[in-house]
A and B are shown apart, each in its own frame.
Chain A
Amino acid sequence: MSHLAATVGLYPLPDWAKDDLSELKGHQKEDLLSGTEGAAVAKTYDRARAEVIERQVDAGLDRIVEGQLRWDDMLGHPFAVHDAVETGGIVRYYDNNNFHRELAVTGELTFDGTLAEELDAVTSRADGTPIQAVLPGPYSLIDLAVDEYYGDDREFLAGTAEFLAAEGGAFPEVETVFVLEPSLAVNPPTGEESTVDVDDVIDALSKVAEAFEAEVVVHTYWDALSEDVYTAALDAAVDGLGFDLVNAEPEVQSIISEHGTPDTVALGVADGQNTRVESLREIDDRVSRFEEVASPETIYLTPNTELFYLPVTSAEAKLDVLGRAASVSEVTV
């Protein structure tokens, strides 16, 4: 089996860019990105993006991400910059000490193109390393937003999936797409609070995945998927599933020993929310325990979560250890 080092994107901005963008953009709700920005802001992001890409190459990652540095509202970004979405007060981003703007969808989610533009800026800089796109999953995106247009959660989910598929259709050539779906683990669809059930989510994920020729991995974190969601996800038209082995290793072990895995998996083996840097041995042990109960063909070694929670130095140290872990295990396998 092959081990590849990758990340789930959403990097911390370099510290100089934090300072520069704070000054250029401001600190309040109305100062965050709305979809267009001036030349000075765009230039700052471009410089930061180049730095983040170079650092991934240096760390020896097998996939390079854009870094999602413009994503002021984290996974809510594709909505936050969309013309049919109104941003409001700040609300918690999952159960973290982070916030995003309230996202109210007030019109049809038509093609926007902003994500493709971000990716265009990566292809010339990745030094031959394959590119990985990062997308919020349709279910997480509707979980982070409020619908004031579609009138029904199933319609809202389907509309969001179509929107993401259209965005993905405009992407430049990428090797891998990570679709981030933390809500699927921490706020699973039950068909009770909302009309959305598991099958609707699987349809939505399949719809998004079918927009790509690239390999698509749906990554979930903060918890393991429940049994019914996991078994349904195995039937989705995606290539791989991701697991959080930092927060939910026993639960993951239990479910994969019962139901197996797809041929491709992403293993969240480095804690994206703690500065303590894992040793190679710790990462290797986590992977080994996983491989004792499952035999996927391709394993992406990743942080369990986005990395923006960490100071830059810690995030970079995690990249380095993931890069080393993948190359060491390649040698020993």
Chain B
Amino acid sequence: MSDRDRFRPAEHPNDHFLLTTVVGSYPKPAWLENEYDRVVDADEDVERPAEATDDASDGFTEALDDAARLITREHERAGLDVVVDGEVRRTEMVEYFADRIDGYEFNGPVKVWGHNYFHKPSVTDRVSYDDSWLREEFEFTSFVASGAVKVPITGPYTLANWAFDEHYGDSEELAYDLADLVNEEIHALVEAGARYVQIDEPALATTPDDHAIVGACLDRIAADIPDDVRLGIHVCYGDYSRIYPEILEYPVDEVDVELANTDYNQLDVFTEPEFTKDFALGVVDAHDTTVESVEEIKRNIERGLEVVPPERLTVSPDCGLKLLPREVAYRKMENLVQAAREVEAELDAGEVRATKIATARSD
């Protein structure tokens, strides 16, 4: 288990430390969206926004760098302990990676929910590593950031299942091939200095019976990764009772879940048997434009303390914030951090109002 205290900022005000972070994605600046649109509209050979970045002009590359710098600093200004660049260089969590892996093709956008779509790719050949995925993104973000940086990376099970499989006919085999590629990428990230990597596996929630396949993927991903690299997994919007407690067997340090969306009605799932990893709890809704008050978020954080003791609780939004208006996303992060700091202070003073606080395991 990696030591999470190394992510505690030097100027942290309280004895207790509830690590605050985000899941990853964040609204892109409007001017960057406009730049994507301009490139797509101007060139009839460019159908997907991602293609705008494939052979980006110097001007577009500069725009992406500027956006990454801006959002990284925005996360720091909100006071987060561990930041990302808002994934501003990524168009979408599957499309971005599929674009860099040989074996995928694109046929058009498909619906996820409401009016939210993504360019779901088709696997038409055996997958293999092609372009670098995230190393440059990480190097730039860590150069810009004054503190710790997390790298969210879409997991192999999701990359396999949120694609149309025209080639393998066996999504398990495809997932394992992709897991080997993710392992290769994490090695490159570790070489570049990354020490906090989050594997995003939302597809697990859609097919929870496949938890063993995700576990086998994670075994491949974690193979030979140094012990001082903090590995997390993010799973969202599903019936957690169907993957718990099996996920406790995964070779990761942290499990990140979405529970604010449905008002913690699944919280009890994680209390029996005892939760043995770090618990990253969603405390603000990523799909509601109402900004939760500091008081409301404090109550949500206290729900997390029913599952794990403070030293194992990470505080984050339910999911990526990219679909929210940027101002709303910022205020949610700001309130999230303030709420965490206030709960820490109350814990320091022995005044926290949680109905029940989990205690550390005896071992």
Chain A residues within CB distance 8 Å of chain B: 12-13, 15, 18, 21-22, 25-32, 72, 88-93, 95-100, 102, 273-276, 308-314
Closest chain A CB from B113 CB (angstroms): 4
Given contacts A27-B115, A313-B108, contact A89 B262 (CB under 8 A): yes
Q: Which of B97-133 contact A (CB under 8 A)?
A: 107-117, 120, 122
A90 contact from B164, B202, B237, Cβ within 8 A? B237
Q: What 10 new A-B contacts, CB under 8 Å, besides A98-B111, A99-B113, A273-B164?
A: A18-B117, A25-B115, A28-B323, A91-B237, A97-B112, A102-B262, A275-B107, A275-B166, A311-B110, A314-B108
Contact B110 A89 (CB under 8 A): no
Contact A31 B115 (CB under 8 A): yes
Give the residue among B114, B116, B165, B202 with the most A Cβ atoms within 10 A. Answer: B114
Per-residue CB proximity of B225-240 to A under 8 Å, as 1/0?
Answer: 0000000000001110
Q: What residues on B are CB-neighbors of A12 within 8 Å? A: 110-111
Contact B166 A100 (CB under 8 A): no
Rounded to whole angstroms, the CA-CA distance of A13 and B110 in the bound complex is 9
Given contacts A102-B262, A276-B164, contact A29 B288 (CB under 8 A): yes
Contact A90 B115 (CB under 8 A): no
Closest chain B CB from A288 CB (angstroms): 22
Closest residue of chain B to A308, judged by CB? B111
- The interface stretch among B52-60, B203-211, B336-344, B355-363 is B203-211
Given contacts A91-B237, A97-B162, contact A32 B114 (CB under 8 A): yes
CB of B353 closer than 8 Å to a CB of A: no
B323 contact from A18, A27, A30, Cβ within 8 A? A27
Can you give 6 A-B contacts (C-beta < 8 A)? A22-B116, A72-B114, A89-B285, A89-B287, A98-B112, A274-B164
CB of B289 closer than 8 Å to a CB of A: yes
Closest chain B CB from A11 CB (angstroms): 10
Closest residue of chain B to A72, judged by CB? B114
Closest chain B CB from A104 CB (angstroms): 12
Given contacts A15-B109, A28-B287, A311-B107, contact A95 B207 (CB under 8 A): yes
CB of B276 closer than 8 Å to a CB of A: no
Chain B residues within CB distance 8 Å of chain A: 107-117, 120, 122, 161-162, 164-166, 202-203, 205-208, 237-239, 261-263, 285, 287-289, 323-324
Closest chain B CB from A112 CB (angstroms): 20
Kindly count the residue-residue contacts between A and B in the assembled complex, taking CB atoms under 8 Å apart: 101
Contact B114 A27 (CB under 8 A): yes
Q: What residues on B are CB-neighbors of A30 within 8 Å? A: 288-289
Contact A276 B113 (CB under 8 A): no
Q: What residues on A are CB-neighbors of B263 within 8 Å? A: 89
Closest chain B CB from A321 CB (angstroms): 15
A26 contact from B115, B165, B208, B239, Cβ within 8 A? B115
Rounded to whole angstroms, the CA-CA distance of A275 and B263 in the bound complex is 37
Rounded to whole angstroms, the CA-CA distance of A96 and B238 in the bound complex is 10
Q: What residues on B are CB-neighbors of A28 within 8 Å? A: 114, 287-289, 323-324
Q: What residues on A are CB-neighbors of B111 within 8 Å? A: 12-13, 18, 98, 308-309
Rounded to whole angstroms, the CA-CA distance of A28 and B161 in the bound complex is 24
Q: What residues on A are CB-neighbors of B116 within 8 Å? A: 22, 27
Q: What residues on B are CB-neighbors of A312 within 8 Å? A: 108
Rounded to whole angstroms, the CA-CA distance of A140 and B115 in the bound complex is 23
Closest chain A CB from B295 CB (angstroms): 21
Rounded to whole angstroms, the CA-CA distance of A273 and B161 in the bound complex is 11
Contact A276 B237 (CB under 8 A): no
Q: What residues on A are CB-neighbors of B287 within 8 Å? A: 28-29, 89-90
Rounded to whole angstroms, the CA-CA distance of A92 and B288 in the bound complex is 17
Closest residue of chain A to B122, judged by CB? A275
Closest residue of chain B to A100, judged by CB? B113
Q: What residues on B are CB-neighbors of A96 within 8 Å? A: 206
Q: What residues on A are CB-neighbors of B205 within 8 Å? A: 92
Rounded to whole angstroms, the CA-CA distance of A30 and B166 in the bound complex is 36
Q: What residues on A are CB-neighbors of B107 within 8 Å? A: 275, 311, 313-314
Q: What residues on A are CB-neighbors of B117 within 8 Å? A: 18, 22
Rounded to whole angstroms, the CA-CA distance of A93 and B263 in the bound complex is 19
Give the residue among A12, A28, A96, A310 with the most B Cβ atoms within 10 A. Answer: A28
Closest chain A CB from B357 CB (angstroms): 27
Contact A15 B113 (CB under 8 A): no
Closest residue of chain B to A33, judged by CB? B114
Closest chain A CB from B102 CB (angstroms): 18
Q: What residues on A are CB-neighbors of B208 within 8 Å? A: 95
The 7 A-B pairs with the shortest beta carbon distances in the complex, nearest first, are: A311-B108, A99-B113, A276-B166, A311-B107, A275-B164, A22-B115, A89-B261
Give the residue among B108, B115, B117 with the most A Cβ atoms within 10 A. Answer: B115
Closest chain B CB from A268 CB (angstroms): 17
Q: What residues on B are CB-neighbors of A99 within 8 Å? A: 112-114, 237
Closest residue of chain A to B116, judged by CB? A27
Contact B113 A18 (CB under 8 A): no
Contact A29 B114 (CB under 8 A): yes
Q: What residues on B are CB-neighbors of A100 within 8 Å? A: 113
